[in-house]
């Protein structure tokens, strides 16, 4: 599920707005902690938890070039534009 970072919460967690319109707290797994630096406005792939839908795990962070490429694809471009609107 695509998501946009709204805030850095701390303790390796970020607040994200997901493509379904829900705000979730996403956990950065240990294998990414020092390898993937996340800041406000970044686009991520997150996996919502089955047993607690208000939380998720970060799966992947899109780099700037990848986001530009996604915007060219009509389906993903619409989703990214919607995330930008929801994040405001």
63-82 pLDDT, tens digit each = 999 999 988 887 888 888 88
| Spatial contact of 2 and 33, defined as CB atoms under 8 Å apart | no
List for the chain the helix, strand, coil content (%; round to 5): 30, 35, 35
Residue 1 has pLDDT above 90, yes or no: yes
pTM for the model stands at 0.89
What would the two tokens of residue 23 be?
């705000």
The Cα–Cα gap between 4 and 39 comes to 10
Output the pLDDT for position 44.
Answer: 95
Q: Which CATH number fits domain 2-87: 2.40.50.140, 3.40.50.20, 3.40.1390.10, 1.10.10.10?
A: 2.40.50.140
Number of H helices and E strands in the chain, helices first, is 2, 5
Output the pLDDT for position 38.
Answer: 93
- 84 or 5: which leads in pLDDT: 5
26-55 pLDDT, tens digit each = 999 988 888 888 999 999 999 999 999 999
């Amino acid at each position: 599920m695509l998501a946009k970072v709204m805030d850095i919460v701390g303790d390796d967690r970020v607040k994200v707005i997901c493509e379904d319109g829900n705000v979730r707290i996403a956990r950065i797994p240990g294998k990414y902690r020092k390898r993937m630096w996340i800041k406000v406005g970044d686009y991520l792939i997150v996996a919502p938890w089955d047993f607690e839908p208000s939380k998720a795990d970060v799966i992947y962070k899109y780099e700037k070039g990848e986001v530009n490429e996604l915007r060219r694809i009509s389906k993903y471009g619409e989703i990214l534009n919607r995330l930008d609107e929801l994040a405001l």
